[in-house]
Amino acid sequence: MSTSPSAVQEAPSSEAAKSLRIRRSFLAAGGTALAGAGAFAMAGQAAAQGGNGTQESLLDVWVKTGKARIGVDLNNKPLRFRDTAGKPTGLGIEFLELLMKDIGATPEYIEMPFGQTFAALAAGKFDMIGTFVTILPSRGLRGTFAGFPAYYQQNVAYLKPGSRVKTLAELNRKDVKIACQQGSSEETTLRSVFPLAAIQTFPQVADAASSVGGGLVDALITDAFFVTTMSKTFPEVKVLGESVNAIPNTFFMPHNDFKLWAYVTNWLRYQGSLRTIVGLQNKWFGTEARDKYGIPGIGVGSGGEPLVIKG
């Protein structure tokens, strides 16, 4: 049987084989070491870059100065608003101030429309957005979300006076107008949930509420916590006892501040185990959504999971 010359391979000598094995072992070990060193260097860089670049962490700045610059929209009662004395208050503000108290800092509020807060944070106009926000991927281009939910936003449909709509599916029609707040997560998500409807945005939630209360739009989609306020302001507006969705919200801070991110994430996890947000929801939102419309509340569990509150 003949053998093709091209198929013949010369067996390496014992010395050559030994050298080859040593070389391969060295390359494998070196590759592993480099990979490990690279990962460690990246983690070290994230930790060393307190805030932006070589700046110290905002957490250290807050502890050192006792002050934190907080950007916030105070036109979203009962989540965040000014009381009769002009003091910022509401569920979101109270939750933020619990965080600030544990850090040992006093918030200095920089007020602006909600839709402008993300660009302002990216531009360094303030240190952190003053309340939890929906984790929209597009927002992640301008900052970093904490690694644990602070709150679950449960959106429901508020219907104009005299509406005959019985289900959410009936809102997905070309002749239907749905209102929401400009720059909110609803503006993004509603276009996929109700692709046939016309989505109209308003600068403030109060403006959107007035539009549905006055019958200018067919429905307003926003958080269930507005049930009590809406029923008092526009008693003829109806609420569908069906959730559109429930989206996690959390604190939003500048990129590359690992120390601040880790502290806030751990703080939120601890508050979840204490069910802090559940108590605040009962305090600020009341129980009308559950009692009158059968809409259960949604809190944050110890593992970050949505926690259904029925009573």
pLDDT at 64: 98
Contacts for 190 with CB less than 8 Å, ≥ 6 apart: 178, 180, 197, 199, 221, 244
Q: How far apart are CA 207 and CA 192, in angstroms?
A: 23
Looking at the domain assignment, is residue 94 inside a domain?
yes
pLDDT at 303: 92
pLDDT 10s digits, 191-205 = 999 999 999 999 888
Lowest mean pLDDT among 43-57, 145-159, 191-205, 225-239: 43-57
Residues 91 and 222 in one domain: no
Q: Is 308 or 88 the better-scoring residue by pLDDT?
A: 88
pLDDT at 311: 63
Q: Mean pLDDT over all residues of the chain?
A: 84
Q: Is 9 exposed, middle or buried (0-12, 13-18, 19+ CB in 10 A)?
A: exposed
Q: Is 14 or 274 the better-scoring residue by pLDDT?
A: 274
Helix (H, G, I), strand (E, B) or coil at 128: strand
174 falls in which pLDDT band (50, 70, 90)?
very high
Chain centroid to CA 262: 16
pLDDT at 9: 41
Looking at the domain assignment, is residue 53 inside a domain?
no
Looking at the domain assignment, is residue 283 inside a domain?
no
Residues 119 and 169 in one domain: no
Lowest mean pLDDT among 26-30, 142-146, 235-239: 26-30
Identify any residues that bridge with 301 across adjacent strands, giving them in sequence order: none
* Phi and psi, residue 49, nearest 5°: -80, 80
Q: What is the pTM of this model?
A: 0.74
pLDDT at 277: 92
pLDDT at 1: 47
pLDDT 10s digits, 208-240 = 999 999 999 999 999 988 888 898 999 999 999
pLDDT at 296: 82
80 falls in which pLDDT band (50, 70, 90)?
very high
Residues 259 and 223 in one domain: no
Percent of the chain with pLDDT over 70: 82
Instruction: Say which amino acid occupies 77.
Output: K
Residues 74 and 210 in one domain: no
Residues 185 and 269 in one domain: no
Identify any residues that bridge with 219 across adjacent strands, giving them in sequence order: 159, 178
Q: Is 296 exposed, middle or buried (0-12, 13-18, 19+ CB in 10 A)?
A: middle
Looking at the domain assignment, is residue 62 inside a domain?
yes
Lowest mean pLDDT among 44-58, 112-126, 245-259: 44-58
Closest Cα partner for 57 from 262, 292, 309? Answer: 262
* Phi and psi, residue 152, nearest 5°: -110, 120
pLDDT at 204: 87
- When pLDDT is averaged across residues 68-92 and rounded to a whole number, the result is 95
Residues 136 and 168 in one domain: no
* CATH value at residue 267: 3.40.190.10
Residues 167 and 127 in one domain: no
Strands 177-181 and 198-202: parallel
pLDDT at residue 186 greater than cutoff 60: yes
Identify any residues that bridge with 92 across adjacent strands, giving them in sequence order: none
Lowest mean pLDDT among 4-8, 135-139, 180-184, 215-219: 4-8
pLDDT at residue 8 greater than cutoff 70: no
Q: At what angle do helices 258-274 and 91-103 cross, to 10 degrees?
A: 120
- When pLDDT is averaged across residues 94-109 and rounded to a whole number, the result is 98
Residues 206 and 193 in one domain: yes
Residues 139 and 208 in one domain: no
Helix (H, G, I), strand (E, B) or coil at 83: coil
Residues 124 and 139 in one domain: yes
Q: How many domains is the chain partitioned into structurally?
A: 2
Q: Is 29 or 164 the better-scoring residue by pLDDT?
A: 164
The whole domain housing 117 covers 58-150+251-274
